[in-house]
Amino acid sequence: MIYKISILLCLLLSSCNNKSELKYEKIDLDFNLNELSGLEYFDSKLITHNDSGYDNSLFISDIDNIKFKEIKIDNTNNTDWEDICYDNDFLYVADVGNNYAFRKNLKIYKISKKFKLLDSINISYALQNNFEMRSRNKFDAEAIISFKNNLILFSKNRLDNESFIYRIPKDVNNISLSPIDKVTFKSLITGADFSEKLGLLTLVGYSNDQKEQFIYFIPKFNLPVDKESIIRVKLPFNKSQIEGVKIISNNLIIISSEDEFNSKPFLVKIHIKNGLLNRLGEFNLKSKK
């Protein structure tokens, strides 16, 4: 059973001669999604998954009436699924969670629209030569997008909060990754999405103590990243762990949170009254703490 709670939390952010109002609609979920991680959307369906310790399943729901149906992905293993992305042809599930930097089986699963495994990409980090267990490390990642002909992976760096950016060609089976860029977000990065239509990258993350949750926007995204264009908004959910994000349209973003601090896992629909982009294609929001 899914319990839905609508919360009217309005946040006004000034921008370019207008204001864009954000309204947050919180949707509590069952505990069978208590390690809720990545988010994706295709064929008018919302898709999510749990991360480490759970079945190799995707969960599918209509977006207006959130009731998730479980679909197992045969011939895969959920060691630590952290994010999912879609490129209009295939789904890519990133089994790349590496909290303690000791994994040697990192991979990305390529899955058909009919939820059948097609292939996988084995990845490693060129700069890693120490696989001893340690929590403060540079070799964890939880955020992936499809961008042009590549997958782009953003690291979750507990050592210094610099997120390394890696490019992964979609047609390889094995690759040793070296950073092509890095960005200091001043928080851990846990989810990402790119809207080709809007030219917009969005990421989510939280402070090291998990007390503060953030969403980041990078309009007109390209590589290397224009660091001056990054917009950060603090989210009004303190006792949570935001893990996934999906841009549905110019007026709607959905984010997801794990079950943390004895609370239920939940989704949040962020309704943007005046749109992320205005009629001139300019980004409407400004950074706000």
Using alpha carbons, select from 237, 288, 230 the residue that is nearest to residue 261: 237
Q: Which domains does the chain have, with CATH numbers?
A: 10-272 (2.120.10.30)
The SS3 of residue 6 is coil
- pLDDT tens, per residue, the chain with 289 residues: 444 444 333 333 333 334 557 999 999 998 888 889 999 999 999 999 999 878 999 999 999 999 999 999 999 999 999 999 999 999 999 999 999 999 999 999 999 999 999 999 999 999 999 999 998 999 999 999 999 999 999 999 988 889 999 999 999 999 999 999 999 998 999 999 999 999 999 999 999 888 899 999 999 999 999 999 999 999 998 778 999 999 999 999 999 998 876 678 999 999 999 999 999 999 999 887 6
**For the chain, what is the total number of helices (H) and then of strands (E)?**
0, 22
Amino acid at 124: S
Residue 1 structure tokens: 């059973």
Long-range contacts, stretch 152-159, CB < 8 angstroms, 24+ apart: 152/192, 152/194, 152/223, 153/94, 153/96, 153/123, 153/177, 154/189, 154/192, 154/203, 155/189, 156/188, 156/189, 156/190, 156/205, 157/188, 158/188, 158/208
pTM: 0.91
pLDDT at 10: 38
pLDDT at 289: 64
Cα–Cα distance measured from residue 155 to residue 96, given in angstroms and rounded to the nearest whole number: 10
Residue 259 structure tokens: 């079950």
Amino acid at 195: S
